[in-house]
Structure 1
Amino acid sequence: MRKLVLVLLLLLFAPLAVSAGKYWLGDRTVDWQTADRSSAGLLPAPADHPEALVRVFAARTVRWRGIFAVHSWIVTKEANARKYTRYDYTAWGDPIRVNGFAADGRWFGDLPQVVAAADGDEAALMIPKIRAAIESYKLRSYGDYRAWPGPNSNTFVAAALAAVPELKTTLPPTAIGKDYPYDGGWVGVTPSGTGVRATLGGYVGLTVGWVEGVELNVLGAVLGLDLRRPAIKLPGLGRIGVAVA
């Protein structure tokens, strides 16, 4: 038992130490007030993409918090629409922000990654469900936001994803807050609809699903295995293995 605990602690803290080193040796210590938030060029011009579109993005969060976590958001565009609509959940102002930033903008200097994508008729069917989930999201009042263990931006996106299990995706293991019980339940179905999860207020939890894989959440740090697309999931470093298609 002692050896098991030591191995668990090593798996939790060693990746975080590596992530911290990458942070201090990289360029993530830039002033957040002057950090680049311009478009990363990950989306086509709306006129060049007349079909409906859904994207989920994630990028390392601001300053030292980026050692541990990413911020995620949702972008939609209905067929023939002239602009994208971006949905974020933030710590300042009204928590749910619509078009507060460039749709595919860098998150305070960090280049976002595409977590999930849908286009055409598939996306067109998802958009009303996503919009309804956002409009009915209960944790939307000023003061509801909590960076840890949630509800935060990742809790918000996880709740929206639960409305479209056909997207067949899950947020990165570094999306701290994704396991917060946005529906108030301790035990329930995963957002992808392919498994189950149990959580104690987002502090400790276990998730098992075909899309999510196996994830152990310890105070927001996630250890896990992706079974569908073989990979390991480590705190701070995220998913390491076969690329997400």
Structure 2
Amino acid sequence: MALLRFALIGFVIVFLLPAALSLLVWKLGEHPASWREANWSSAAVLPAAADDDEAAVYIMAARTGGLKGALSEHSWIVVKPQGAARYERFDKVGWGSPIRRNGYPADGRWYSNVPRVVARLTGEAAERAIPRIRAAIDAYPFAANGGYRIFPGPNSNSFVAHVLRSVPELGAVLPPAAVGRDYPVDGRLVSLDAEARELRASLFGYAGFAIGARSGLELQFLGLVAGIDPLRGLLKVPGFGSLSITG
């Protein structure tokens, strides 16, 4: 009983309290009442595509809309082949086309929330990666209509996480608040990525863990992620995402 009580207290402190605080902070902020009222325009986060001939790849993320924005982000993929004058953006969303191409500006706000760059490649590395990214997008097993579920997945973040795992040279994992990123789209509940030096386990996105050079140590429960990444000096807090502990 003492061990069970200790585990319950730990769960409340590590998962529930931060999530509740994140919900409170979000409720106190100002947010659009609906998608119709939201700002979806470019946030000018990325350089103008025509200003640079180099190839580029960006993984983007921004807080989503409604109350779920307190706990979750939406992510997407942006590519620009060498010499291209425009970016291409790819999202998996719960409405419209299965994989939406250029449905929004490459660095557009998501429900009025300004996006940030999660990962980037430029130059020759990006040019080599783009064909593999396109192949991973084409191979996404839940690309068809109906292949979307907000929780536990597969959702927009499951799609981008699939591409990141398929193209390890991107060298990144999605942020902790990207709910759905841990859904096993390939059906494997346990996976070992030797190239990325990552061991991951997921009970269909409901609970799991990850340990490795890119993720650090993570515990996952009902889409919430808690953990620490000592290599990058990050503390992963449910709802809030990654917080720097190096000052």
TM-score range, shorter chain: over 0.9
Q: Deviations over 1:139-163 (max 9, x none)?
A: 1111110000000010000010112
For the residue of structure 2 that corresponds to 1:15, the secondary structure is helix
Of 17, 20, 23, 1:17 maps to 20
Kept in 2: contact 1:161–1:191 (CA 8 A)? no
- Residue 31 (1) aligns with residue 34 (2): yes
Q: Distance in 1 between matches of 2:157 and 2:105?
A: 18
Q: TM-score, normalised by structure 2?
A: 0.94
Larger CA deviation: 27-36 vs 84-93: 27-36
Q: Does 1:221 align with 2:187?
A: no
1:156 aligns with 2:168: no
Residue 3 of structure 1 and its aligned partner are, at CA, apart by 2.1
| Cross-structure match for 2:244 | 241
Determine whether 1:50 maps to 2:53: yes
Give distance in 1, aligned partners of 2:33 and 2:95.
20
TM-score normalised according to structure 1 size:
0.95
Give the Cα separation in 1 of the matches to 2:236 and 2:75.
Answer: 17
For the aligned residue pairs, the C-alpha RMSD in angstroms reads 1.5
How much has 1:47 moved relative to structure 2? 1.5
- Is the 8 Å Cα contact of residues 210 and 219 (structure 2) preserved in structure 1? yes
Deviation at 1:240, TM superposition (A): 0.7
Counterpart of 2:7, as a letter, is L
Q: What SS does the aligned partner of 2:19 have?
A: helix
Deviations 1:37-61 (A, max 9, x none): 1101011111211100000111111
Please state how far the C-alpha of 1:80 moved relative to its aligned partner. 0.4
Q: Does 1:136 align with 2:139?
A: yes
> Residue 239 of structure 1 aligns to a residue in which SS?
strand
Partner of 1:203: 206
2: CA distance between counterparts of 1:62 and 1:192? 35
Q: Is the 8 A contact 2:177 2:240 kept in 1?
A: yes
Tell me the alpha carbon deviations over residues 152-205 of structure 1, each in whole angstroms, 9 at most, x when there is no partner.
010000010112212211101011111000111111135972211111111111
> In structure 2, what is the Cα distance between the partners aligned to 1:29 and 1:99?
23
State whether structure 2 residue 98 is matched by structure 1 residue 99.
Answer: no
In the TM superposition, 1:177-192 aligns within 5 A as 177-190=180-193
Which consecutive unaligned segments of at least 5 residues does structure 2 have? Answer: none
2:79 aligns with: 76
Identity %: 44
User: In the alignment, is the contact (CA less than 8 A) between 1:164 and 1:192 conserved in 2?
Assistant: no
Distance 2:72 2:132 in 1: 27
Structure 1 contact 188–196 (Cα < 8 Å) conserved: yes
**Counterpart secondary structure, 1:240:** strand
Quote how far apart the aligned CAs of 1:227 are: 2.2
Contact 2:32 2:38 in 1 (8 A): no
- Between the two proteins, the alignment pairs up a number of residues equal to 243
Unaligned runs of 5+ in 1: none
Report if aligned partners of 2:235, 2:245 keep a CA contact under 8 Å in 1.
no
Is the counterpart of residue 174 in structure 1 residue 177 in structure 2?
Answer: yes
- Decide whether the 8 Å contact of 2:18 with 2:239 is kept in 1: yes
Find the residue that maps to 2:180 and give its secondary structure: coil
Q: Aligned pair 1:108/2:100, yes or no?
A: no
How far residue 11 of structure 1 moved from its aligned partner, in angstroms, is: 1.4
